């Protein structure tokens, strides 16, 4: 009989979804970054759960405090991508019985760090005994229905853009897991991107407010994967002309003979926004993000053909749909 390891995360999710009755008139479909419940004609409750498991989500070198902070931040990033403001978090903990008092303290501090950075409060939770360290965060907020930026909605002609440069977390992970020692000016920003990720919440909320975005997702499963998800949900394709490789990643890749494009496309745990923007509102979107000193980097355009192609050095290639998958990917 097949096991979860043979099936992989995405097949498991698909199997379970098939067995669930769907809520009539769901404001946001299954599979988008947050779920929603209608409050009234104008307002939605938005909610999201995201579980951090020590053995797969906490790389060597990350402290318990950083892990707890990350459990909140990775969830905030999904709200950011939808343009929805989170208000409060509820946190379920699974703790191994040999965890120390000091580690418990560090978890409390990390949860508060993550929450307060985004003006959220932790308002409830649950504590249990488990073999792994589990920090499962449920985030709840209220948002205007018309502001919500879904994965579906990209139209041919829209501009594909991202809020930052890529490849830092995949490079940082290689440093941590393989014990590499690049010069400090490379090591620090790359490792920091893994240990202290930031969610683009202000940016997502501001973009939602001006109605410039036709589809949106965060890049937590890797840039390539995110583009494929937007493509699937919107029924369009993308031509990517500019892969936004971070300068530190270029230098790191050169030093260790790695492919900087691969590091940038197929990373993960990188929390930028990947959006499609109405061309007529491009300047306004740029101006709005400029207020936070955040770049809005044009990487390509939306096309009808449902493929994701990238132009590199005059060559056009199809971008594979691969990214991190629980049970199938190795840590």
* CB 219 to a second copy: min, Å: 17
* CB 46 to a second copy: min, Å: 10
Nearest to 126, CA basis, from 75, 90, 87: 90
Within 13 Å, how many C-alpha atoms sit on residue 322's CB side? Answer: 9
* CB 136 to a second copy: min, Å: 5
Q: Of 123 and 318, which CB lies nearer to a second copy in the complex structure?
A: 123
* CB 4 to a second copy: min, Å: 5
* CB 83 to a second copy: min, Å: 17
Q: Of 132 and 262, which CB lies nearer to a second copy in the complex structure?
A: 132
Q: Between helices 282-290 and 201-210, what is the axis angle to 10°?
A: 140
Task: Assign 278 to helix, strand or coil.
Answer: coil
Positions 119 through 158 that interact with a second copy (CB under 8 A): 121-132, 134, 136, 138, 140, 142
* CB 10 to a second copy: min, Å: 9
Measured CA to CA, the distance from residue 224 to residue 212 in angstroms comes to 22
Q: Determine the interface stretch with a second copy among 16-24, 159-167, 176-184, 222-230 (rule: CB under 8 A).
A: 16-24
> Rule CB under 8 A: is residue 109 a binding residue for a second copy?
yes
Measured CA to CA, the distance from residue 77 to residue 110 in angstroms comes to 16
**Other beta carbons within 10 Å of 222:** 23
Measured CA to CA, the distance from residue 237 to residue 231 in angstroms comes to 5
Binding mask 298-327 for a second copy (x = CB under 8 A): ----------------------------xx
Residue choice 41, 60, 97, 315 for contact with a second copy (CB under 8 A):
97
b/e per residue 110-131 (b: at least 16 CB within 10 A): bbbbbbebbebebeeeeeeeee
* CB 208 to a second copy: min, Å: 19
Q: Of 57 and 229, which CB lies nearer to a second copy in the complex structure?
A: 57
Q: Of 282 and 327, which CB lies nearer to a second copy in the complex structure?
A: 327
Residue choice 23, 177, 312, 318 for contact with a second copy (CB under 8 A):
23
Instruction: Kindly report the length of the chain.
Output: 331
* CB 40 to a second copy: min, Å: 9
Positions 44 through 83 that interact with a second copy (CB under 8 A): 45, 47-51, 53, 55-57
Contact assessment for residue 266 and residue 310, using Cβ atoms and an 8 Å cutoff? no
Positions 32 through 51 that interact with a second copy (CB under 8 A): 34-37, 39, 43, 45, 47-51
Nearest to 114, CA basis, from 207, 18, 50: 50
| CA angle in degrees (0–180, nearest 5) for 192-193-199 | 125
Measured CA to CA, the distance from residue 179 to residue 173 in angstroms comes to 9
> Rule CB under 8 A: is residue 184 a binding residue for a second copy?
no
Nearest to 60, CA basis, from 225, 180, 186: 180
> Rule CB under 8 A: is residue 21 a binding residue for a second copy?
yes
> Rule CB under 8 A: is residue 291 a binding residue for a second copy?
no
**CB within 8 Å of 8: residues ≥ 6 apart:** 325, 326, 327, 328
Q: Of 205 and 303, which CB lies nearer to a second copy in the complex structure?
A: 205
Positions 226 through 245 that interact with a second copy (CB under 8 A): none
Q: Of 47 and 277, which CB lies nearer to a second copy in the complex structure?
A: 47
């Amino acid at each position: 009989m097949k096991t979860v390891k043979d099936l992989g995360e995405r097949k498991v999710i698909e199997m379970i979804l098939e067995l669930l009755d769907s809520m009539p008139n769901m404001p946001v479909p299954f599979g988008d970054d947050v779920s929603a419940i209608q409050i009234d004609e104008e307002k939605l409750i938005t909610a999201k759960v995201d579980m951090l498991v020590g053995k797969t989500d906490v790389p060597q070198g990350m402290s318990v405090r950083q892990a707890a902070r990350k459990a909140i931040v990775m969830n905030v990033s999904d709200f950011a991508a939808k343009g929805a403001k989170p208000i409060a978090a509820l946190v379920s903990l699974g703790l191994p019985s040999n965890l120390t008092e000091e580690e418990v303290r560090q978890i409390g501090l990390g949860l508060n760090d993550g929450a307060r950075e985004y003006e959220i409060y932790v308002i409830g939770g649950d504590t249990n005994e488990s073999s792994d360290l589990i920090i499962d965060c449920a985030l709840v907020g209220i948002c205007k229905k018309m502001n919500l930026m879904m994965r579906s909605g990209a139209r041919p002609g829209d501009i594909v853009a991202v809020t930052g440069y890529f490849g830092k977390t995949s490079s940082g992970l290689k440093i941590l897991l393989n014990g590499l020692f690049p010069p400090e000016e490379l090591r620090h920003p790359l490792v920091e991107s893994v240990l202290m990720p930031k969610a683009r919440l202000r940016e997502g909320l501001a973009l939602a407010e001006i109605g410039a975005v036709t589809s949106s997702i965060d890049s937590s499963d890797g840039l390539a994967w995110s583009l494929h998800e937007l493509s699937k949900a919107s029924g369009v394709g993308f031509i990517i002309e500019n892969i936004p490789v971070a300068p530190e990643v270029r230098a790191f890749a050169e030093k260790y003979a790695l492919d900087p494009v691969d590091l940038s496309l197929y990373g993960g745990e990188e929390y930028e926004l990947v959006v499609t923007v109405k061309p007529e509102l491009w300047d306004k979107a740029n101006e709005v993000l400029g207020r936070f000193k955040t770049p809005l980097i044009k990487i390509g355009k939306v096309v009808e053909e449902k493929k994701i192609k990238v132009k590199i050095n005059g060559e056009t290639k199809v971008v594979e749909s691969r990214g991190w998958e629980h049970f199938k990917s190795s840590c």
